[in-house]
Amino acid sequence: MQKLVVLSGAGVSAESGMKTYRDSNGLWENYNVQDVASIDGWYRNPKMVLEFYNMLRKKLQAAQPNEAHSIIAELEKYYDVVVVTQNIDNLHERGGSTNVIHLHGELTKVRPVDDDACRHVKDIGYSDVNLGDCDSRGKQLRPHVVWFGEPVPMIQKAAVEVSTADILLIIGTSMNVYPAAGLVGYAKRGTQIYLIDPQPIRLNYEQFYQIQEKATSGMRRLREILLKEVKDPMQQ
Ligand code: OAD
């Protein structure tokens, strides 16, 4: 089986009702990123940060995976699929994907503030986390997400996956945030790169094919292309 690595961002979940970050009316137009998504913001006002993620968790609870998530999952029948997502939602998993790497953490998980090594990550589902919610040692719980100013522990694992991909799909990301945006640089020579986004995306890589559509219709088209290749590999 060929290996298909999917690099996804907020756009893949947009049709599920989850806001993207940088589009007009996106999250960063309505919230100050340095207040709610940076380690300094957490030190300044943890209550505001907790409330922001409580709000997102409630939205996620009400959201459903869309057809783009389910087609990505369906492709596991034909490809060895690894999803590397910048999203903190769980819609890839709920859409059926079985191998998902979360670069920026997970909304439904928390850990104690002093647990930089992420050894005591706990699943809380869709519950709120408030100031005063602590582990058994009295340490405040924080969202298990990566904030600006923090390292991205999963980046090396993700880079290894990209470097062994036969096909790379980039979907619903503005490719603005590093180190995630640099992952494409790990693709080996000759890797076929597909990009699905309604906006034109610039990529520092000569061989890529953009399907300039929303995630669901773009994935329907890509499924056709990929399944043709699986059935008739000489046609490429
Ligand atoms: P962005 O908001 O930067 O980019 C979203 C992309 O999705 C844009 O290129 C849009 O054109 C595209 N898009 C919008 N609607 C779409 C649809 N229906 N189908 C497909 N694509 C669509 O989001 P990300 O690139 O994911 O990190 O942002 C990366 C990181 O920045 C996030 O993980 C988050 C944020 O700050 C942290 O908070 C650490």
CA distance 236 to 232: 8
Lowest average pLDDT, out of 24-33, 46-55, 116-125, 226-235, goes to: 226-235
- 103's CB contacts (< 8 A; 6+ apart) are 84, 85, 86, 146, 152, 154, 155, 158, 180
Name the nearest CA neighbour of 3 among 157, 192, 172: 192
Q: Is the pLDDT of residue 231 over 80?
A: no
Strands 105-112 and 122-123 turn out to be: antiparallel
Confirm or reject: Cβ of 173 under 6 Å from ligand 1: yes
pTM: 0.95
- Where in the chain is CATH 3.40.50.1220? 1-17+66-104+151-236
Structure confidence by residue, pLDDT tens digits, 177-189: 999 999 999 999 9
Q: Candidates 3.30.300.30, 3.20.20.80, 3.40.50.1220, 3.40.50.20; correct CATH number of 1-17+66-104+151-236?
A: 3.40.50.1220
- Where in the chain is CATH 3.30.1600.10? 19-62+107-145
Structure confidence by residue, pLDDT tens digits, 126-157: 999 999 999 999 999 999 999 999 999 999 99
Arithmetic mean of pLDDT, 111-139: 96
Confirm or reject: Cβ of 177 under 6 Å from ligand 1: yes
Structure confidence by residue, pLDDT tens digits, 62-75: 999 999 999 999 99
CA distance 110 to 77: 33
Confidence of residue 233 (pLDDT cuts 50, 70, 90): low
Q: Is the pLDDT of residue 232 over 90?
A: no
Q: Is the pLDDT of residue 214 over 80?
A: yes
Confidence of residue 203 (pLDDT cuts 50, 70, 90): confident
CA distance 72 to 82: 10
Q: For the domain bounded by 19-62+107-145, which CATH number is listed? A: 3.30.1600.10
The per-residue pLDDT for 207 is 73
Confirm or reject: Cβ of 214 under 6 Å from ligand 1: yes
C-alpha 9 – ligand 1 centre gap (Å): 5
Phi-psi map region of 184: left, alpha, beta (phi>0 left; psi -120 to 50 alpha)? alpha
- In the chain, the percentage of residues whose pLDDT exceeds 90 is 89
Q: Which two tokens stand for residue 108?
A: 């439904």
Q: Which two tokens stand for residue 82?
A: 């690894």
Nearest CA to ligand 1 atom 25: 173
Q: Is the pLDDT of residue 23 over 70?
A: yes
Nearest CA to ligand 1 atom 9: 174
By annotation, the residues acting in catalysis are 104
The per-residue pLDDT for 39 is 96
Cis peptide before 112 (omega within 30 of 0): no
The per-residue pLDDT for 201 is 85
Using the atom order of ligand 1, give the atom closest to the CA of residue 148. 39
